[in-house]
Amino acid sequence: MRVKHLLGHQSLKYKNALRATGEVIMPFKRPRPPPVPHATNSSSTSTLLSTNHEHKRLRRGCLHGIKAYILSAKIDGAEYEILIGEAEENGAELCKTPAEADIIVTAIGMKKRLERHIDWNMAKGKAVVRPDWIRDSVKKSEALPCGDYAAISDLLDSSIENCPESSSSQSQPPDQAEASTSQHQSTKESTLPDLVYEPRYKSRFACERYSPLICPNQDLVKELHIIKLAREMESEERSALSYSRAISAIKAFPEKIKSMSQISDIPYLGDKLTGMIQEFLSKSTISQARQLSSDTRYQTLISFTSVYGIGPHTARHLYDLGLRTFDDLSRYLGSDDNAEGSGGSFAWREGLRLRDELSVKIPRAEVEEMGRLVDNALQDILPGSESTICGGYRRGKLESNDVDIVFTHPQGQGNKANNMIARLVERMRKDGLITHTMHAPSVRSKGSLRPPTNHDGWDTLDKSLTIFNLPKTSPYYKGIHRRLDLIYAPREVYWTAVVGWTGSTMFERDLRLWAKQKGLKFDSSGITRRRDTKALYATSERDVFKLLELEWIEPRLRNADL
């Protein structure tokens, strides 16, 4: 939903707008998620469950049962994300506060600095280790002793003393542990040929995996998507990301999942996800997803965020005020008390007015017609321009929520950008094609739902988020407003921009992580080498992949989200 696109700065604006009405922002009530059904080894004798159980045992991570707090200070965003992912995937329970944790992971090496974040006396009661404790434990498949990893010398002894043990090693009786190890080895042996041919779905990076529009496990993915959306609605970003990662990994799995033994190589499936998949295999649904989809709070938040300009934060606030329907919302916005002139309410009212139209999906033929009209306008004012329809359309989606068009001009270099966008928009406005515009800030503000989080914004390209209207003379005219994003890229970064705007979101997120581990920085506005910030220019879309040392993946296989 492109609505999210605007969240970053808008939610803040609206927050102030709401505050101005004198209403108190109440803490939101969160529906307690139903307990995740876990496989048990108790009564069932069905083969499915017993293989599942076996499987679960195999997958139980080396950090299982360990309560960890990862302090983000001094850890760079991408690295933080990788650490969190690794810890979660290997069974660690991530805590929101250091007090709840057994082990504190930090890149801080000095007592004074640590004390800025964590109470010293509390730290003394825990193990306090460096991030490589997670990495090395995962590599060795066991929670390693903390002594070698103590983050701060003064805390060495207490870290050794308080070093947690994983319940995966603790709770298994010796014979079982042995069975599990030997099984583990036998799985390893049986996958030996994979060393020669490593299927792409195993990669930890969505930008290495083939992700078709519709995958063999699409129903499972849809169910998980509901849970992911619910997390987004509650601004539980990290949890939402775990679901996005799992969804993305399942999207690339080439077979229909019929038994748990098939999924052991799919990355990012921790205990919770494994349990859910197990449930899905036996019931074709996931109870948590079912419950959510009939939950009033979930439904209301989803529908409010479908209004252009309303993000989860605002939606929760409106919900807490007791609003449930669009009529409620409309009444609320219509009331003079709430109609302060600062723009927030106006934008909402406008969004609400257009909502029904904007929620109608755009068929491919109409997307193409819009592309032609944009290109005509472009050629008129900037002859020789080039444009590409990106986004979901380019990935093969039959219907799109909006249209994303990236364009460039042979003479357009460097910072003449402003001009190009303004000229195009002005022209289309005059022709009656564009009815509303929202100039996006070039850098997305933090706190936006949209990833990636490894840097502050998507890019520094100039763009305009507009509302578009086909001319009555067009054979596709239905009198429906459409969302159209126009993005100008200087010639030399045109292909990076095309890759950056083709998506899907997880593909993009991992592209950035991938680039990072290659010592590069990728975003839609260019590729740079980190060590000397030298810019690398691609001359084609394939060249973008080549520069990133990535194998080519065609746009239709970049559907790494739902």
Chain residues in the site for ligand 8GT (CB under 6 A): 2, 5, 391-392, 397, 400-402, 404, 444, 450, 458-459, 500-501, 503-505, 508, 524
251: CB partners within 8 A, 6+ apart: 209, 211, 212, 215, 217, 221, 559, 560, 561
Question: Are the C-beta atoms of residues 333 and 339 closer than 8 Å to each other?
Answer: yes
Nearer to ligand 8GT, 271 or 404 (CB): 404
- Report the nearest approach of Mn ion to the CB of residue 503 (Å): 7
Nearer to ligand 8GT, 80 or 393 (CB): 393
Nearest in space to 137 (alpha carbons), one of 202, 83, 183: 83
Query: What is the C-alpha separation between 203 and 266, in angstroms, rounded?
Result: 8
- Report the nearest approach of ligand 8GT to the CB of residue 465 (Å): 9
Nearer to ligand 8GT, 60 or 463 (CB): 463
What's phi and psi for 488, nearest 5 deg? -100, 130
What residue number has its CB nearest to ligand 8GT?
503
Subset of 85-104 contacting Mn ion (CB under 5 A): none
Distances (CA, A) of 116 to 149, 155, 473: 21, 16, 65
Interior angle at CA 430, CA 427 and CA 433, nearest 5:
85
Question: Are the C-beta atoms of residues 483 and 404 closer than 8 Å to each other?
Answer: no
Nearer to ligand 8GT, 270 or 503 (CB): 503
Nearer to Mn ion, 311 or 392 (CB): 392
Nearer to ligand 8GT, 387 or 504 (CB): 504
Name the one range near Mn ion by CB under 5 A: 10-18, 126-134, 259-267, 394-402.
394-402
Nearer to ligand 8GT, 95 or 480 (CB): 480
- Report the nearest approach of Mn ion to the CB of residue 5 (Å): 9
Number of Cβ within a 10 Å radius of residue 467: 20
Exposed, middle or buried by CB within 10 Å (0-12, 13-18, 19+), for 383?
exposed
SS3 520: strand
Name the one range near Mn ion by CB under 5 A: 20-28, 294-302, 365-373, 386-394.
386-394
Nearer to ligand 8GT, 167 or 445 (CB): 445
Per-position x/- string for 303-342, each x denoting binding to Mn ion as judged by CB under 5 A, each - no binding: ----------------------------------------
- Report the nearest approach of Mn ion to the CB of residue 555 (Å): 13
Query: Which of Mn ion, ligand 8GT, none does residue 459 bind (CB under 5 to 8 Å by kind)?
Result: ligand 8GT
Buried b (16+ CB within 10 A) or exposed e, 477-508: eeebbbbbbbbbbbebbbbbbbbbbbbbbbbb
Nearer to ligand 8GT, 231 or 483 (CB): 483
Name the one range near Mn ion by CB under 5 A: 171-179, 388-396, 424-432, 459-467.
388-396
Name the one range near Mn ion by CB under 5 A: 75-83, 85-93, 341-349, 389-397.
389-397
- Contact with Mn ion (CB under 5 A): which of 8, 267, 275, 391? 391
What residue number has its CB nearest to Mn ion?
391
337: CB partners within 8 A, 6+ apart: 21
Residues in contact with Mn ion, total (CB under 5 A)? 4
Distances (CA, A) of 95 to 71, 73, 85, 92, 239: 10, 15, 13, 9, 12
- Report the nearest approach of ligand 8GT to the CB of residue 504 (Å): 5
Interior angle at CA 557, CA 552 and CA 561, nearest 5:
125
Query: Which of ligand 8GT, Mn ion, none does residue 501 bind (CB under 5 to 8 Å by kind)?
Result: ligand 8GT
Query: Which of ligand 8GT, Mn ion, none does residue 442 bind (CB under 5 to 8 Å by kind)?
Result: none
CA quadruple 71, 74, 76, 79: dihedral sign: negative
- Report the nearest approach of ligand 8GT to the CB of residue 143 (Å): 36
Nearer to Mn ion, 5 or 55 (CB): 5
- Report the nearest approach of ligand 8GT to the CB of residue 533 (Å): 19
Report the chain's terminal Cα–Cα distance, integer Å.
12
Q: Answer yes or no whether residue 402 interacts with Mn ion by CB under 5 A.
A: yes
**Segment (H or E) for 443:** none
Question: Are the C-beta atoms of residues 423 and 382 closer than 8 Å to each other?
Answer: yes
Question: Are the C-beta atoms of residues 261 and 55 closer than 8 Å to each other?
Answer: yes
Nearer to ligand 8GT, 85 or 500 (CB): 500
- Report the nearest approach of ligand 8GT to the CB of residue 370 (Å): 12
- Report the nearest approach of ligand 8GT to the CB of residue 250 (Å): 18
What's phi and psi for 63, nearest 5 deg? -105, 15
- Report the nearest approach of Mn ion to the CB of residue 505 (Å): 10
Query: What is the C-alpha separation between 36 and 39, in angstroms, rounded?
Result: 10
- Contact with Mn ion (CB under 5 A): which of 404, 459, 508, 561? 404
DSSP conformation letters of 416-435: GHHHHHHHHHHHHHHTTSEE
- 182 token code pair: 């030997």
Nearer to ligand 8GT, 283 or 478 (CB): 478
Q: Which residues pair with 362 in a beta bridge?
A: 400
Chain residues binding Mn ion by CB under 5 A are 391-392, 402, 404
